[in-house]
Amino acid sequence: MIFFAVSRRVNPPSPAEGGGFARSIILAMLLTFSVFPAHAVQPDEVLKDPALEARARHISEGLRCLVCQNQSIDDSDAPLAKDLRVIVRERLTAGDGDRQVVDYVVARYGEFVLLKPVFAWHTLLLWLTPLLAVLLGGFGIWRLSRRRAPEKAAGLSAAEQAEVEALLDRR
């Protein structure tokens, strides 16, 4: 209710009116919840060994949720993301290294599961597209700046000027 009352005011309250503290608290809460991502890791997934859990979190940050597609599996609540988190933790407890776990997941789900794609021949277009877009934009701006301004039209001839004056005089 406080937020509604604060958001409905047209002018911010002066310090003499009060209300600045409530607004500050609400702003702090909004910033806190919007800046820090909510991790979707469930308590039953967390490994007892803190070192292994830290490795699992590090690996999970680099793997894409195939349902959400813009979140890591660490941030997603989708059931498939949970399955992937479980697979990562199972492979780590089985003794696999970080690279082996990532390779296992990529072999099973494809390179799309990586949030940061590998730099290879088959992904070259993906990596070079931003550079090509900037270069094409720069070339277009250069071409526009090199265009000549259209020549100004010559003034009216004497006959045309006389005709205009005759039309204006008739009014």
Q: 114 in helix, strand or coil?
A: strand
| 48 alpha carbon, distance to own chain's centre | 34
Q: What domains appear along the chain, each with residue ranges and CATH number?
A: 2-35 (no CATH), 40-134 (1.10.8.640)
More confident call, 53 vs 44: 53
Q: What is the pLDDT of residue 39?
A: 59
pLDDT tens track for 91-107: 998 988 889 999 999 99
Torsion angle of alpha carbons 56, 61, 66, 68, nearest 10°? 130
Q: Which residue has the tokens 């265009």?
A: 147
The pair of structure tokens assigned to 66 is: 């195939």
In this predicted model, what pLDDT tens digit does every residue of 90-148 receive, in sequence order? Answer: 999 898 888 999 999 999 988 888 888 888 888 888 889 999 999 999 999 999 988 87
- pLDDT (0 to 100) of residue 18: 54
Sign, CA torsion 12/16/17/19: positive
**Secondary structure letter of residue 39 according to DSSP:** P
Q: Give the residue with greater pLDDT, 104 vs 153.
A: 104
Q: Specify the pTM.
A: 0.54
